[in-house]
Amino acid sequence: MQVSQYIIEITYLVATALFILSLKWMSSPSTARHGVWAGELGMVLAIAGTLLNHGIVDYKWIAIALVLGTIIGVPLGMVQMTAVPQRTALSHAFGALCVTLVGTAEFYLRGSDVSRFTMSVLCMEVILGSLTFTGSLMAAGKLQEVLPQRPITYKGQNIVNLGVLAIAIGLAAFVVMHPGHTHVFPFIVGIPLLFGVLMIIPIGGADMPTVISLLNSYAGLSAAAMGFVLDSKLLIVAGALDGASGFILSLNMSKAMNRSFSNVLFGAFGQEQPGGAAGQETRSVRSATAEEAAAILSAASRVVIVPGYGLAVAQAQHKVRELYDALTKRGVDVKFGIHPVAGRMPGHMNVLLAEADIPYDKLLDLDEINGEFPQTDVALVIGANDVTNPAARTDHSSPIYGMPILDVDKARTVMVIKRGMSPGFAGIDNPLYYLDQTLMLFGDAKSFVGAIVRELGSAAQDQPR
């Protein structure tokens, strides 16, 4: 091995260590930014090391592509915080695209001159890569609302989907066995592209956190497969870390919805609600004005705010921050209860609230906050629905029965800001709204919270403390 080859290998080794450190530092918000720096340093080292490689005879296209990638990357890094889920889905698509293209090129360069093992990982690389590519594009489209968010289902859908995937895997097995048949390869890339589209069609908005995590895992695994093909340990480690991360997040998400992976992927949620809805129209709800809500909030000593996707849609996070300030100033203890699947991707709500400058130690997880609801004076639900539905605890016939929920109904008073009485994404009626201690605050989340803040402000002027 030449000296420069050693240097390259060492940069890869250091980069690998930095990547692991980078994820380790993500464990706490106080060290997390070091994690980003470690990751950046590792990336720069690895790319610089690669550019030293003797196999590189032409730098022109590399340079053009690096510059072009940077030009595209910067705006993708500057999107609004509410758009982070679709940006993430898009970047999964880009990662998968890279892996698929490299895999395809490697296939045609090496021809049949590879071992069976290499050929099988190469097929795995392009299958995972191309289904992740179109799947992520579809997910991004649904999140950006360019595509309809409602799940689209038809009879025999799962059989069709699995059949399509099975054909691709069958063809891959054929190529592994008979490496000469290169004409099959376009189908091994093309069919999973179709499968990626079909896979996301039946998935609705509420399932996005799980699906994004799963696509994240696939993107990682395809990169790891690419590492096997190129015999690059760095790539294998990075891919394995990404795959593990996506896998853990998808497990978390499906646990938070009390559903299995296969159920998320193969059982479109709540497209039909047999019965249930009938007879509930007669039940009455109590509604309140912003003035009444402000009076109740200012009399409380402990308030828990439960945000959901509706808060992101209404861009209400800054108004919520004003409410937090106004109440904290009056000595009210305000916390936030955040369900793992609130929003459109894991941790989405935390980012939005952190953006509005709400200290992160006030943002509590499901397990941390649930014990506090019985001592809570007011639970204020903003744009969340299914994650507060007590039917998940009590009603065996409910489609969400068994899903861990935020026990807001145990608070002394529950206030729900909501546009109207329409059910949530899962299409399930929420008995919470008909409870005696529940007050419905009908209106847009942003303007209603704004109105409460104004009421609190004027009340404070009337009776200075």
Partner 1 sequence: MKFDLMTDLYVFMLAAFIGFEVIRRVSPLLHTPLMSLTNALDAIAVVGAILLVGAHKSTFSTVLGTIAIVAATSNVVGGFLITDRMLKMFKSSRTKKS
User: Closest approach of Cβ 280 to partner 1, in Å?
Assistant: 34
Please choose, out of 179-187, 300-308, 339-347, 392-400, the segment that lies near partner 1 by the rule CB under 8 A.
339-347
47 binds partner 1 (CB under 8 A): yes
User: Closest approach of Cβ 115 to partner 1, in Å?
Assistant: 7
322 binds partner 1 (CB under 8 A): no
Helix boundaries (H) for 356-435:
366-370, 391-394
Task: Single out the catalytic residue among 242, 386, 409, 429.
Answer: 386
Distances from the Cα of 17 to the Cα of 7, 48, 49, 114, angstroms: 15, 16, 15, 30
| Closest to partner 1 by CB, 336 or 448 | 336
131 binds partner 1 (CB under 8 A): no
Please provide residue 202's backbone torsions phi and psi, each rounded to the nearest 5 degrees.
-80, 10
| Closest to partner 1 by CB, 87 or 418 | 87
- Separation of first and last alpha carbons in the chain: 78
Pick from 334, 325, 313, 379: nearest CA to 356: 325
User: Closest approach of Cβ 25 to partner 1, in Å?
Assistant: 10
Contact pick of 13, 354, 459, 460 for partner 1 (by CB under 8 A): 354
77 binds partner 1 (CB under 8 A): yes
| Closest to partner 1 by CB, 33 or 181 | 33
Please choose, out of 73-81, 192-200, 308-316, 397-405, the segment that lies near partner 1 by the rule CB under 8 A.
73-81
Question: Restricting to residues 251-280, which ones interact with partner 1 according to CB under 8 A?
Answer: 252
173 binds partner 1 (CB under 8 A): no
325 binds partner 1 (CB under 8 A): no
Q: Is 453 exposed, middle or buried (0-12, 13-18, 19+ CB in 10 A)?
A: buried
359 binds partner 1 (CB under 8 A): yes
User: Closest approach of Cβ 303 to partner 1, in Å?
Assistant: 16
User: Closest approach of Cβ 252 to partner 1, in Å?
Assistant: 8
Q: Tell me if residue 386 is catalytic.
A: yes
Please choose, out of 220-228, 388-396, 432-440, 455-463, the segment that lies near partner 1 by the rule CB under 8 A.
220-228
Residue 300 bridge partners (DSSP):
none
CB 332 within 8 Å of CB 359: no
| Closest to partner 1 by CB, 345 or 417 | 345
Q: Which distant-in-sequence residues (6+ apart) come within 8 Å of 167 by Cβ? A: 187, 191
Contact pick of 291, 322, 355, 444 for partner 1 (by CB under 8 A): 355
Q: How many angstroms separate the CA atoms of 371 and 407, rounded?
A: 9
Contact pick of 196, 204, 205, 239 for partner 1 (by CB under 8 A): 239
Q: How many angstroms separate the CA atoms of 386 and 367, rounded?
A: 17
User: Closest approach of Cβ 29 to partner 1, in Å?
Assistant: 4
Please choose, out of 163-171, 193-201, 346-354, 399-407, the segment that lies near partner 1 by the rule CB under 8 A.
346-354
The radius of gyration computed from the CA coordinates of the chain, to the nearest angstrom, equals 26
Question: Restricting to residues 434-453, which ones interact with partner 1 according to CB under 8 A?
Answer: none
Amino acid letter, residue 227: G
Please choose, out of 305-313, 338-346, 379-387, 401-409, the segment that lies near partner 1 by the rule CB under 8 A.
338-346
Strands (E), 292-445: 302-307, 333-338, 363-365, 378-382, 413-418, 438-442
Q: How many angstroms separate the CA atoms of 380 and 373, rounded?
A: 11
Question: Restricting to residues 100-119, which ones interact with partner 1 according to CB under 8 A?
Answer: 101-102, 104-106, 108-109, 115, 117
- Give the up-direction half-sphere exposure of residue 185: CA atoms within 13 A in the CB hemisphere: 25
User: Closest approach of Cβ 345 to partner 1, in Å?
Assistant: 6
Pick from 212, 175, 157: nearest CA to 344: 212
SS3 state of residue 424: coil
| Closest to partner 1 by CB, 249 or 426 | 249
Q: How many angstroms separate the CA atoms of 57 and 116, rounded?
A: 30
Cβ density class 8-18: b for 16+ within 10 Å, e for less = beebbebbbeb
Question: Restricting to residues 7-46, which ones interact with partner 1 according to CB under 8 A?
Answer: 15, 19-20, 22-24, 26-30, 32-33, 35-36, 39-40, 42-43, 46
Contact pick of 151, 196, 202, 243 for partner 1 (by CB under 8 A): 243
Amino acid letter, residue 136: S
User: Closest approach of Cβ 45 to partner 1, in Å?
Assistant: 11
The strand order across the sheet containing 363-365 reads: 363-365, 333-338, 302-307, 378-382, 413-418, 438-442
Please choose, out of 182-190, 353-361, 387-395, 451-459, the segment that lies near partner 1 by the rule CB under 8 A.
353-361
Known catalytic residues are 386
